[in-house]
Amino acid sequence: MRVIASPEAVEFVHLRGGRLFVWTKRGRCCGAGLTWLEASTEDPGGRDFERIDAPFDLYVALGGHGPEELHVDARGRRRRRVEAYWNGCAWVV
């Protein structure tokens, strides 16, 4: 898995301890099961994370499979946060 992180995301993660956790989250909408990625600089607990080489300490729990590319970016003006994308997409495909 190749990690593509924006400079803003790298700075965001480093300012918050240098660790990023990324995991899949499943939901139901309109009868369809959707899966997307959640990201946090704090360990959400309850998952088995695997360490991935990145510009920061990256830990992923993606259910035994992963994207070719994991994109990481910082978003928000008032409430800054980090987001991760599966092959550049908001949803896991």
Domain ranges across the chain: 2-86
Q: Pick the more confident residue, 65 or 30.
A: 65
Q: Compute CA distances 32 → 26, 27, 88, 91, whole Å.
A: 10, 8, 21, 13
- Largest Cα separation within the chain, whole Å, is 40
**C-beta separation of 22 from 60 below 8 A:** yes
For residue 67, the SS3 value is: coil
**Buried b vs exposed e over 25-53: b needs ≥16 C-beta within 10 Å?**
eeeeeeeeeeebbebebeeeeeeebeebe
- For residue 58, what pLDDT is reported? 97
Topology given in CATH for the domain delimited by 2-86: Hypothetical Protein Aq_1857; Chain: A; (2.60.300)
**C-beta separation of 72 from 4 below 8 A:** yes
Q: pLDDT per residue over 3-37, tens digit each?
A: 999 999 999 999 999 999 999 988 766 666 788 89
